Amino acid sequence: MRYRHIGVHPVSAAVGAEISGIDISKMNDATWNEIRHAFLEHLVIFFRDQDITPEQQIAFARRFGEIGYYPMVRGMEAHPEIVEVRKEPEEKENFGGVWHSDTSYLATPPLGAVLYAKDLPPTGGDTLWSNMHLAYNALSEGMRRLLDGLKAVSSSQKGAAAIGRQARHDEAPGESSGVLEAVHPVVRVHPETGRKSLYVNAGHTVRFEGMTEKESEPILQFLFTHLIRPEYTCRFQWRTGSLAVWDNRCTQHYALNDYHGHRRVMHRITIKGDVPKGVARQAPGRRSSASEDHSQS
157 pLDDT band, cuts 50/70/90, is confident
Instruction: Evaluate whether residue 287 is within a structural domain.
Output: no
- For residue 243, what is the domain's CATH number? 3.60.130.10
User: What number is the average pLDDT over the span 125-148?
Assistant: 98
pLDDT of residue 18: 98
Instruction: Evaluate whether residue 289 is within a structural domain.
Output: no
Mean pLDDT (the chain) is: 91
pLDDT of residue 86: 96
Q: Cite the DSSP H helix spans in the chain.
A: 29-42, 54-62, 132-137, 141-147, 159-168, 213-226, 290-295
Instruction: Evaluate whether residue 49 is within a structural domain.
Output: yes
SS3 (DSSP) at 45: strand
pLDDT, greater one: 259 or 282: 259
CA 20/CA 151 separation, integer angstroms: 39
Instruction: Evaluate whether residue 2 is within a structural domain.
Output: no
Cβ neighbour number for residue 167 with a 10 Å cutoff? 14
289 pLDDT band, cuts 50/70/90, is very low
Q: What is the DSSP pairing of strand 44-47 with strand 17-20?
A: parallel
Instruction: Evaluate whether residue 87 is within a structural domain.
Output: yes
pLDDT of residue 282: 58
Instruction: Evaluate whether residue 281 is within a structural domain.
Output: no
CA 128/CA 222 separation, integer angstroms: 20
Q: Is the pLDDT of residue 291 over 90?
A: no
pLDDT of residue 113: 98
pLDDT, greater one: 284 or 236: 236
User: What number is the average pLDDT over the span 216-222?
Assistant: 98
Instruction: Evaluate whether residue 114 is within a structural domain.
Output: yes
Q: Is the pLDDT of residue 92 over 60?
A: yes
Q: Is the pLDDT of residue 165 over 60?
A: no
CA 94/CA 129 separation, integer angstroms: 17
Q: How many residues does the chain have?
A: 297
Q: Which residues are catalytic?
A: 100, 102, 253, 268
Domain boundaries, position 35: 7-276
First-to-last CA distance in the chain?
A: 18
Q: What's this model's pTM, rounded to 2 decimal places? A: 0.89
User: What number is the average pLDDT over the span 176-193?
Assistant: 90
Instruction: Evaluate whether residue 23 is within a structural domain.
Output: yes
Concatenating the DSSP letter of every residue in 223-274 gives HHHHTT-GGGEEEE---TT-EEEEETTTEEEEE----TTS-EEEEEEEE---
User: What number is the average pLDDT over the span 126-150?
Assistant: 97
72 pLDDT band, cuts 50/70/90, is confident
pLDDT of residue 281: 63
Q: How many domains does the chain have?
A: 1
